[in-house]
């Protein structure tokens, strides 16, 4: 009961990459999506569940490109290949992290989006830019990329405390043009921003195709607009749709959850979520790091700065400058034993001797007392 589908697995993959790398690392994100696809990483069932054709094709293409990359570096093990730093990827000949064919449609990029605006909401322009880049990795349609930018902006604005009226205003884009780097949105997306969904009498009329991202966006916003300020009503309305209810409910939940907050979600739903502590732990880390990170896209040979607020930092007004491959501050990386020192579940170093897949846990029947939620953040390839 309460087990999640592929949308949540992909969102957890994205979140685990952002947390582990302390930056937007496109190669690492694709690696984690591949782990989910091949090994059931961060799946609630121990195997890849409910992957669509667009996502499968993109990940198969990524695997082919990794094979070429492996030839360039002289045939590494899969673990070493997956762990290559971003500068090594950029040094390789012809490696492109955008693995989708042009013009393909689908909703997976939008359904997994939330970790990016939740982490970068303090820098809205970064949140919007990275929302688009995250979509481009697996979905090559310009409409999907702009839908993700727009939806990332909505989640960012919701977390920053903007009103529902402002979020659904036809002036939302014009009032936040600087978040979009003053770039125009795709005309089809712009039509939705201007309120096309408000002209509909029923979202079932809106969604005629489960593969059309514009129709799906219209349905989600229509539900959010008519949910009577009730997260529960909105989710139930989404579930009662005949078309792609799972994806629409997931996408609605990202925006509505950001706007209404945790306390507005029915407790009986929360209590039945599978691996609830893992999801809570992930959310806490995103919240914590949202105060720390000032750099968005991970780039080679550049210093990454992490600024800590005095309210949650190891020491007041502390500014740490760390480089890739250096040890992170104790609050950010440690062992299971010191988790109570920080107030957050610690983030252990990722080694093959200490990590397991969900399937491994079920097979070995490990107890909760022996397992940190973060042990699930990397599979073994046995």
Q: How far apart are CA 189 and CA 131, in angstroms?
A: 15
86-100, 164-178, 345-359: which is most confident: 164-178
Q: In the prediction, which pLDDT does 75 show?
A: 81
Q: What does the domain layout of the chain look like in residue ranges?
A: 102-260
Are 363 and 344 a contacting pair, CB within 8 Å? no
pLDDT, one tens digit per residue, over 206-224 is 555 556 899 999 999 999 9
pLDDT band at 303 (very low <50, low <70, confident <90, very high): very low
1-15, 252-266, 281-295, 339-353: which is most confident: 252-266
Where is average pLDDT lowest: 148-162, 271-285, 300-314? 300-314
Judged against a pLDDT cut of 50, whether residue 204 lies above it is answered with yes
Q: In the prediction, which pLDDT does 170 show?
A: 96
Average pLDDT for residues 81-100, to the nearest whole number? 88
Nearest residue to 113 (alpha-carbon basis) of 154, 59, 169? 154
CATH H-level, domain 102-260: superfamily = ADP-ribosylation/Crystallin J1 (1.10.4080.10)
Report which of residues 9 and 370 the model is more confident about: 9
Say if residue 5 carries a ligand binding annotation. Answer: yes
Say if residue 341 carries a ligand binding annotation. Answer: no
């Amino acid at each position: 009961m309460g087990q999640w589908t592929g949308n949540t697995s992909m969102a957890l993959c994205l979140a685990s990459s952002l947390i582990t790398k302390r930056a937007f690392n496109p190669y690492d994100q694709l690696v984690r999506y591949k782990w989910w696809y091949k090994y059931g990483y961060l799946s609630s069932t121990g195997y890849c569940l409910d992957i669509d054709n667009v996502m499968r094709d993109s990940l198969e293409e990524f695997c082919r490109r990794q094979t070429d990359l492996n030839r360039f570096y002289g045939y590494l093990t899969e673990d070493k290949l997956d762990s290559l730093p971003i500068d090594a990827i950029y040094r390789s000949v012809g490696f492109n992290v955008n693995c989708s064919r042009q013009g393909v449609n689908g909703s997976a990029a939008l359904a997994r989006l939330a970790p990016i605006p939740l982490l970068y909401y303090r820098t809205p322009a970064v949140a919007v830019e990275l929302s688009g880049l995250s979509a481009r990795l697996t979905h090559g349609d310009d409409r999907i990329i702009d839908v993700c930018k727009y939806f990332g902006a909505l989640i960012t604005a919701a977390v920053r405390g903007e009103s529902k009226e402002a979020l659904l205003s036809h002036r939302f884009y014009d009032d936040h043009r600087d978040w979009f780097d003053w770039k125009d949105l795709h005309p089809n997306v712009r039509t939705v921003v201007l309120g096309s969904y408000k002209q509909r009498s029923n979202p079932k009329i809106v969604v005629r195709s489960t593969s059309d991202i514009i129709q799906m966006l219209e349905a989600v916003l229509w539900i959010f607009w008519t949910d009577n300020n009730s997260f529960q009503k909105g989710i139930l309305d989404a579930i009662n749709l005949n078309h792609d209810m799972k994806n629409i409910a997931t996408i609605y939940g990202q925006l509505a959850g950001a706007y209404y907050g945790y306390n507005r979600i029915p407790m009986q739903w929360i209590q039945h979520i599978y691996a609830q502590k893992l999801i809570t732990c992930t959310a806490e880390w995103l919240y914590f790091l949202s105060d720390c990170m000032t750099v968005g896209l991970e780039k080679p040979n550049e210093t990454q700065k992490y600024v800590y607020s005095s309210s949650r930092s190891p020491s007041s007004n502390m500014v740490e400058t760390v480089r890739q491959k250096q040890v992170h501050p104790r609050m950010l990386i440690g062992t299971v034993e010191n988790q109570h020192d920080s107030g957050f579940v610690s983030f252990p170093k990722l080694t093959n001797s200490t990590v397991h897949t969900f399937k491994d846990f079920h097979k070995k029947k490990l107890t909760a007392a022996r397992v940190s939620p973060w042990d699930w953040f990397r599979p073994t390839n046995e």
